[in-house]
């Protein structure tokens, strides 16, 4: 059986602001196994970055994790392990600060959406990456510098011996992104979370960075959570995919089966919005109809119902859907249309999510 490196259960992260509460992450369940790539996709504002930052306990104030579990592997795991997971895991939601810090950067590293949030403009690459190495390992400055040069070379930064003494502003976007990946790899993490690692780059550089990610993943044998709004990137890179909408995962499964037979109307709409070869270059894409609702006004029932092409009046606007498993292994969808099919509803009857009474609480408009 493949080894779980991250298991998220019913995660809730909220921002309590003066005008109301933003439920940025609202009941996310996710698993990532050793060595695999999970793509997390969804429109802007659906909670991808907040979910990723929650994993490392790096949510900006006034954001707060208000519920759920984030299990990661840890040698000092207290022995209390999630159902069905291997031993030696800790829950980062309840872990102490020391444990969280020992996971961050060491077991789980992150490449952020905005490069400059993790790079300091005041320090050279060598100092920053060297510092990251020395934070987790007792090595001399000279050894850290040697390792930094080696890492810069591994991410295909030309002339690493010179570049190691450069500042971030001296580098192009693509080179900086490589340096960020080098920094993330510096402690040989078992999970790399890459939040839109290529969005700001031109297409050629984007392709090179993705290629690089794939090759370092093979070399280092790590798992990758790749956050992207680009379904093409997800198809090219991922083993499995999780589609997020308004803070929850509405559909997940292996990439081939989700792309071949999407079940959630939101997944179907997203797939229709990607360009197809040969469909005529001038043909307009069909974006998902309607807008993501205002953050304070989460629709009651299924949060996607105001935009849904398969909306059932009197049902989708009143009842929050539960996850439904199947038909392929590892597939799950949150849509009332599938809950109505008894054979599939039965398949979820034993899951903790299905039993959780909170799932039926109405959020109110
Ligand atoms: N610091 C913050 N303060 C208040 N609200 C926030 C903060 N950060 C995020 N949010 C809100 O949380 C929700 C989820 O945001 P998040 O950044 O996770 O979206 P995303 O899926 O990463 O979008 P994008 O594709 O644009 O990066 C949004 O409604 C956003 O406005
Ligand atoms: Mg984001």
Is the pLDDT score of 86 beyond 70?
no
Percent of all residues in the chain with a pLDDT value above 90, rounded to a whole number:
46
pLDDT of residue 355: 36
Per-residue pLDDT band at 68 (split at 50, 70, 90): very high
38 pLDDT band, cuts 50/70/90, is very high
Give the pair of three-digit tokens for residue 243. 């589609």
Q: How far is the CA of 348 from the centre of ligand 2 (A)?
A: 30
Cα 287 to Cα 3, 266, 267, distances in angstroms: 38, 11, 12
* DSSP string of 104-120, one letter each residue: BTTTEEEE-SSGGGTS-
Judged against a pLDDT cut of 80, whether residue 113 lies above it is answered with no
Sheet of 223-227, strand order: 108-111, 191-195, 223-227, 37-41, 240-245, 248-254, 332-333, 324-325
Nearest-atom number in ligand 1 for the CA of 45 is 19
- The string of DSSP codes covering 303-335 is TTGGG-TT--TTTTTT-PPPPEE-SSTT-EE--
Cross-strand pairs, 325: 332
pLDDT interval class at 353 (50, 70, 90): very low
Q: To 10 degrees, the CA torsion angle through 207, 213, 215, 219?
A: 170
Residue 349 has pLDDT above 80, yes or no: no
| Closest residue CA from atom 13 of ligand 1 | 24
The average pLDDT across 303-308 equals 92
Cis bond upstream, residue 169 (ω within 30): no
Q: What is the dihedral of CA 303, 42, 84, 223, to 10 degrees?
A: -170
Q: What is the CA(47)–ligand 1 centre distance, in A?
A: 6
CA distance 37 to 213: 10
pLDDT digits (tens, 9 = 90+) for 2-32: 789 999 999 999 999 888 899 999 999 999 9
pLDDT at residue number 80: 52
Cα–Cα dist 134/146, whole Å: 12
Tokens of 214: 């794939």
Q: pLDDT of 212-271, one tens digit each?
A: 888 888 888 899 999 998 888 899 999 999 999 999 999 999 999 999 999 999 999 998
Q: Compute the distance from residue 200 Cα to the ligand 2 centre, in Å.
A: 12
Residue nearest to atom 24 of ligand 1 (CA): 44
Judged against a pLDDT cut of 70, whether residue 85 lies above it is answered with no
Atom number, ligand 1, closest to the C-alpha of residue 61: 1
- CA 218 / ligand 2 centre spacing (Å): 26
Q: Which residue has the tokens 């795991």?
A: 77
Residue 195 Cα to ligand 2 midpoint, Å, equals: 7
Residue with more model confidence, 285 or 38: 38
Q: What is the pLDDT of residue 82?
A: 52
| Residues within 6 Å of ligand 1 by CB | 15, 22, 24, 42, 44-50, 60, 63, 113, 229, 295
Structure tokens belonging to residue 167: 């500042």
Ligand 1, pocket-test mutation among 45, 234, 297, most atoms within 8 A of CB: 45
pLDDT band at residue 77 using 50, 70 and 90 as cut-offs = low
Query: Which of 109-113, 168-172, 228-232, 255-259 has the highest mean predicted lDDT (pLDDT)?
Result: 255-259
Q: Check pLDDT > 80 for residue 180.
A: yes
Q: How far is the CA of 327 from the centre of ligand 2 (A)?
A: 31
d(CA 144, CA 147): 5
Of 117-131, 220-234, 268-282, 348-362, the range with the lowest mean pLDDT is 348-362
187 vs 342, higher pLDDT: 187
Nearest ligand to the CA atom of 112: 2
For the ranges 275-289, 310-324, 347-361, which has the lowest average pLDDT? 347-361
Atom of ligand 1 nearest to the CA of 60: 1
DSSP SS3 for 46: coil
Greater confidence, 185 or 199? 185
* Of the ranges 2-6, 170-174, 334-338, 350-354, the best mean pLDDT one: 334-338
More confident residue, 26 or 75: 26
pLDDT value, residue 330: 86
Instruction: Give 45-66 pLDDT, tens digit per residue.
Output: 899 999 999 999 999 899 999 9
Query: How would residue 287 be classed by pLDDT, with cut points 50, 70 and 90?
Result: low
Q: What is the mean pLDDT of residues 296-311?
A: 89
* Per-residue confidence (pLDDT) for residue 352, from 0 to 100: 42
User: 83 falls in which pLDDT band (50, 70, 90)?
Assistant: low
Does residue 79 register a pLDDT over 70? Answer: no
């Amino acid at each position: 059986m493949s080894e779980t490196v991250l298991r998220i259960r019913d995660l809730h992260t909220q921002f309590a602001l003066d005008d109301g509460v933003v439920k940025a992450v609202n009941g996310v369940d996710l698993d990532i196994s050793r060595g695999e790539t999970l793509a997390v996709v969804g429109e802007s504002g659906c909670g991808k970055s907040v979910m990723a930052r929650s994993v490392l306990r790096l949510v900006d104030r006034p954001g707060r994790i208000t519920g759920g579990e984030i299990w990661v592997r840890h040698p000092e795991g207290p022995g209390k392990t999630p159902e069905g997971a291997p031993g030696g895991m800790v829950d980062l939601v309840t872990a102490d600060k020391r444990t969280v810090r020992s996971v961050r950067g060491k077991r789980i590293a992150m490449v952020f959406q905005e490069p400059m949030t993790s790079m300091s403009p005041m320090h050279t690459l060598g100092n920053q990456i060297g510092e990251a190495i020395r934070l987790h390992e007792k090595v001399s400055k000279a050894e850290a510098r040697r390792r930094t040069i080696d890492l810069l070379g591994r991410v295909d930064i030309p002339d690493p011996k010179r570049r190691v003494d450069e500042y971030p502003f001296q580098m192009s976007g693509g080179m900086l992104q490589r340096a960020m990946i080098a920094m993330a790899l510096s402690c040989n993490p078992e999970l790399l979370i890459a939040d839109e690692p290529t969005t700001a780059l031109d297409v050629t550089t984007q392709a090179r960075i993705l290629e690089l990610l794939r090759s370092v993943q093979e070399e280092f044998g790590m798992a990758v959570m790749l956050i992207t709004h680009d379904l093409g990137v997800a198809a090219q890179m991922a083993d499995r995919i999780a589609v997020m909408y308004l803070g929850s995962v509405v559909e997940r499964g292996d990439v081939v089966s989700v792309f071949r037979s999407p079940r959630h109307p939101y997944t179907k709409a997203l797939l229709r919005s990607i360009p197809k070869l040969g469909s005529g270059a001038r043909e307009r894409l069909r974006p998902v109809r309607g807008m993501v609702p205002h953050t304070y006004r989460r629709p009651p029932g299924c949060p996607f119902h105001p935009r849904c092409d398969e909306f059932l009046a009197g049902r989708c606007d009143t009842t929050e859907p539960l996850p439904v498993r199947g038909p392929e292994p590892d597939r799950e969808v949150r849509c009332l249309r599938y809950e109505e099919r008894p054979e599939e509803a039965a398949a979820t009857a034993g899951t903790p999510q299905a039993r959780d009474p909170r799932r039926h609480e109405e959020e109110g408009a």
